[in-house]
Amino acid sequence: MTAQTNKEKQPPILFDKTQAIIKRINTMLGGTLVTYFNNPRGSVCHDDVLALFELLEKIGYQKTIYLFLKSSGGNGQASLRIVNLLRQYCEEVVAVIPLECASAATMITLGANEIRMGPMAYLTPVDTSLTHSLSPIDRDNDRVSVSLDELTRVVRLWQAQNGNAKENPYQELFQHVHPLVIGAVDRAESLSIMLCKELLAYHITEDEVTEKIAAALNAKYPSHGYPILYEEAKRIGLKVNRLTPETNSLLLELNELYSEMGQRATTDFDDTHAHGNEILNIWESTDVLVYYQQDKDWFYRTEERRWISLNDNSSWRRMAKVGRKVEKSILHIA
């Protein structure tokens, strides 16, 4: 087992390269850049709040924080906590978006005074979908997410096709989706609208404006992944501007380095045993990097057709420059 451990692949930590780009961007923007990156299997979560706190304590209070976001989403309530924490360490937040900024990450941008978008940048609707402990199971025996919009459309389609039939569509639907899941999703949508209003209220005082934007993001679009581009973001009332080509180029370079750090580093020992090392979430600013690394063994349980984890050493990890040295440590976040 020792021989196997020595051969385990490790993701690269490109701290020196990312720090060099961050310093160039700070000079270009005239402020302090804070970066947040999720790889495709990472997500916005409550632990991010504690990771961000580590950064903010290191850099101290700033007049303006420029927040780089690249994420496919996650927990909307964590988004509210992230914005609330940021606001305690700066006068103004400016979101800088070169690429994907979806779902819960879009919610984070709602708390920014300004959103600057690159040519490839997009936001998305924030209509809520959730994975409940009673959600349906997919072919890999994993719970699938359920959205209220999908459920509503199924009921509407059933009613349109059956006309005046007396049968209740939910009797059929309950055979596939547990009624408690439907209730939880309905409640989650109300929560989503409330979160959007709370986030917008950090910089918009008119209730009608926050109501309009929140309603659009939660109900206007036919798909949860619908890309809200620059012009559409402006139409729904968000304060958006263009990223300069120079800033956008540097942010894309930074994203490329983070993507390299976030690549899967899987070591296959045989058909049923493997070890996975993967960086899922990254927070970084001047002289400090905090990231979550998944580090565990995987065993394929054939009779259940799924992988289970063993020997889990996953943790949040911190790198910080102190003088000329770089100190490394593990953050114990419960």
Q: Is residue 270 part of a domain?
A: no
Q: Is residue 213 part of a domain?
A: no
Q: Is the pTM of this model over 0.75?
A: yes
Choose the final residue of a domain: 142, 167, 186: 186
**Each residue's pLDDT tens digit, 242-288:** 999 999 999 999 999 999 998 887 777 778 878 778 889 999 999 99
Q: Is residue 154 part of a domain?
A: yes
pLDDT of residue 149: 66
Beta bridge partners of 228: 123
237: left (phi over 0), alpha (psi -120 to 50) or beta: left
Top mean-pLDDT range of 83-87, 159-163, 173-177, 312-316: 83-87
**Please, which residues have CB within 8 angstroms of residue 160's CB and are 6 or more apart in sequence?**
none
Are 87 and 227 found together in one domain?
yes
Q: How many CB atoms lie within 10 A of CB 80?
A: 22
Q: Is residue 199 part of a domain?
A: no
pLDDT of residue 222: 75
Pairing of strands 288-301, 315-322: antiparallel
Residues in the chain: 334
Are 44 and 21 found together in one domain?
yes
Are 33 and 84 found together in one domain?
yes
Are 27 and 93 found together in one domain?
yes
265: left (phi over 0), alpha (psi -120 to 50) or beta: beta
Choose the final residue of a domain: 186, 204, 229: 186
Q: DSSP readout, 112-181?
A: SSEEEE-TT-BB-----EE--TTS-B-TTSPBPPEEHHHHHHHHHHHHHHHTT--S-HHHHHTTTS-HHH
- CATH number for position 26: 3.90.226
Burial tier of 282 (Cβ tally within 10 Å: 0-12, 13-18, 19+):
buried
Are 6 and 108 found together in one domain?
yes
CA distance 98 to 110: 16
Are 10 and 112 found together in one domain?
yes
Burial tier of 163 (Cβ tally within 10 Å: 0-12, 13-18, 19+):
exposed
Domain count of the fold of the chain: 2
pLDDT of residue 82: 95
Helices 179-200 and 148-162 pack at an angle, to 10 degrees, of: 120
Choose the final residue of a domain: 139, 166, 186: 186
Are 87 and 107 found together in one domain?
yes
Query: pLDDT: is 20 or 164 the higher one?
Result: 20
- Which pair of tokens denotes residue 193? 């609208």
The residue range of the domain holding 26 is 2-125+221-264+278-292+315-331
Are 112 and 144 found together in one domain?
no
Beta bridge partners of 281: 38, 292
Task: Report DSSP state, residue 145.
Answer: P
Are 256 and 288 found together in one domain?
yes
**Each residue's pLDDT tens digit, 61-83:** 999 999 999 998 888 889 999 99
Are 51 and 110 found together in one domain?
yes
CA distance 275 to 90: 41
- The model's confidence at residue 297, banded by pLDDT at 50, 70 and 90, is confident
pLDDT of residue 38: 94
Are 156 and 20 found together in one domain?
no
Query: pLDDT: is 177 or 251 the higher one?
Result: 251
Q: Is residue 306 part of a domain?
A: no
Are 179 and 30 found together in one domain?
no
Q: Is residue 28 part of a domain?
A: yes
